[in-house]
Structure 1
Amino acid sequence: MPCWPTPSQAEIDAMSLQETKDHDSQSVYSPATLAIYDTLVLRISNPAIWRCPTPRILALYDRHVSDHHLDVGVGTGWYLDRCRFPAGVRLGLMDLNRNALRSAAKRVERYSPVSHVADVLQPIRGVDRTYASISLVYLLHCLPGDIAEKAIVFDHLVSLLAPGGTMFGATILAEGVVRSGMATKLMAFYNRKGIFGNAGDRLDDLRRELDVRFGKVTIEVVGCVALFSVSEPKRLPVV
């Protein structure tokens, strides 16, 4: 597992300026930002600031991905490029940001992915297939509202989950977890800029919203990141 040095305050300031040319959590993913995303987030922020090394999240993919997988909030496609898919995987990509979709699709073009432009805060339209696994990594903390409001995404996505399927993901939390001083400061900055919307995101709230929706819930906290997996939906999908 790689060990990355803790960035200086000047480096953090440079990261923040680059990532916040636009102050919206979707528009920030420009081609220029996506080009440096892996370095800033996966190599620096994850291990040094959020204290959740990237290999821990990759291991979450390896545990749960299936041969019919949908990735929601695709980033650059780094995890999809490296996780251990079963042979013959059918891969779907879903994001509101077309730049991210193009970047991820190009990275995993060997899997011939199908891309969907969608706002997961709204009922999902135009997807005529289901998936045995659905991932939502670093999506929830970018959405507006509190955990109870964001949890509507599970109600929308469950319509795409095949019987017996699993949803899994990771989200950065503000309360109910241990945050370093650097994490607290950077998180507050990102919330002011609208990149994050997690100022009130609590571990207990996440657990409650998952428990009311799914019969089987697993949550592991690493640093200030909650890694979760859920199955056995209790609710009917929102259509």
Structure 2
Amino acid sequence: MTLSTHDGVKVYTPVSLKLYDWWVLNISNSYAWHCDTNKYLIPHFKNHLGERHMDIGVGTGFYLKKSLNYIKEISLTDLNLHSLEHTKKYIPDDKLINCLQHDVFQPFSNKLNESYNSISLFYLLHCLPGTMDDKKKAIENISYLLTEKGVLYGTTILGQGVKHNFFGKKLMSIYNKKGIFCNYSDSVDSLEEMLSYLFHDISIHVQGTVALFTAKNKK
């Protein structure tokens, strides 16, 4: 099976990025996914940051902008060049060490192996194509970048095992039909199984329809 990540990133244009924080992090998080950005997502992002950090699926760089004082070195990774250019503007030159346009289903350069204390995947997994088992390949590629004690963490909107309200169901339907999301079969169990294949220590907390996860001690 050939997995294409382009449908999940093509929505991020210079125009849509100007509306992203308002629509996704304010309206959608509060009223569709019931996972408040300020109460849950920002603390989750900050709590697991290492001094040398990579953010994958950068969006607008919202979480990084809130956390610059906590990070010494930052790498940005995204398939969408618009997102990278948008986010890069907010990162001081002395902190930004890499800005990579990369498909996570493809291996990273070996020179990046074991380079990062922390890697964040916020709202990335539900945009990746396929089932959680398919997405495991992307997480495996990412795991090589972590140091021995490094932590992989993030958030993802679930499609199974959670109760979506009317607004959430409508967004899920639209986004999955357009290929922006691919998460109808994503559940806590499938997320845990996928992460446990690659890491010894897994933690998952569900808030609303969003799973906040951490994975440490890679296998």
Normalised to the residue count of structure 1, the TM-score between the two structures is 0.84
Displacement after TM superposition at 1:83 (Å)? 2.2
Q: Given the alignment, which residue of 77, 89, 92 partners 2:61?
A: 77
Change (3 A) 1:175 1:24: same
**What is the distance in 1 between the residues matched to 2:217 and 2:22?**
36
Query: Is 1:25 aligned with 2:8?
Result: yes
**What is the distance in 1 between the residues matched to 2:189 and 2:160?**
9
Write out per-residue CA displacement over residues 51-89 of structure 1, whole angstroms, 9 at most, x where no aligned residue.
1111211101111011100000000000000026436x1
Cα contact 2:148–2:218 (8 A) shared by 1: no
Query: Is 1:137 aligned with 2:112?
Result: no
1:49 is matched by which residue type in structure 2?
A
Q: Where in structure 2 are the equivalents of 1:58-77 lying within 5 Å?
A: 58-77=42-61
Gaps of 5+ in 1: 1-22, 235-239
Structure showing greater Rg: 1
Write out per-residue CA displacement over residues 12-35 of structure 1, whole angstroms, 9 at most, x where no aligned residue.
xxxxxxxxxxx9221111100001
**What is the distance in 2 between the residues matched to 1:232 and 1:128?**
18
Change (3 A) 1:112 1:80: same
Larger RCO, structure (CA 8 Å, separation 6 or more): 2
Q: Where in structure 2 are the equivalents of 1:67-216 lying within 5 Å?
A: 67-83=51-67, 85-86=69-70, 89-109=72-92, 112-113=95-96, 114-125=98-109, 127-128=111-112, 130-216=115-201
Normalised to the residue count of structure 2, the TM-score between the two structures is 0.92
Cα contact 2:131–2:183 (8 A) shared by 1: yes
2:75 is matched by which residue type in structure 1?
G
| Identity between Structure 1 and Structure 2 (%) | 39
- Between Structure 1 and Structure 2, how many residues are aligned? 211
**What is the distance in 2 between the residues matched to 1:108 and 1:78?**
11
Write out per-residue CA displacement over residues 177-196 of structure 1, whole angstroms, 9 at most, x where no aligned residue.
22112111210111001111
Displacement after TM superposition at 1:112 (Å)? 3.4
**What is the distance in 2 between the residues matched to 1:207 and 1:157?**
17
**What is the distance in 1 between the residues matched to 2:217 and 2:169?**
35
2:100 is matched by which residue type in structure 1?
H
Cα contact 1:142–1:198 (8 A) shared by 2: yes
Displacement after TM superposition at 1:128 (Å)? 3.2
**What is the distance in 2 between the residues matched to 1:177 and 1:85?**
35
Cα contact 1:71–1:135 (8 A) shared by 2: yes
**What is the distance in 1 between the residues matched to 2:76 and 2:69?**
15
Match of 1:107, SS?
A: coil
Query: Is 1:44 aligned with 2:27?
Result: yes
Q: Partner residue of 1:233?
A: 218
**What is the distance in 2 between the residues matched to 1:45 and 1:102?**
24
**What is the distance in 2 between the residues matched to 1:141 and 1:222?**
15
Alignment RMSD, CA only? Answer: 1.6
Cα contact 2:76–2:99 (8 A) shared by 1: yes
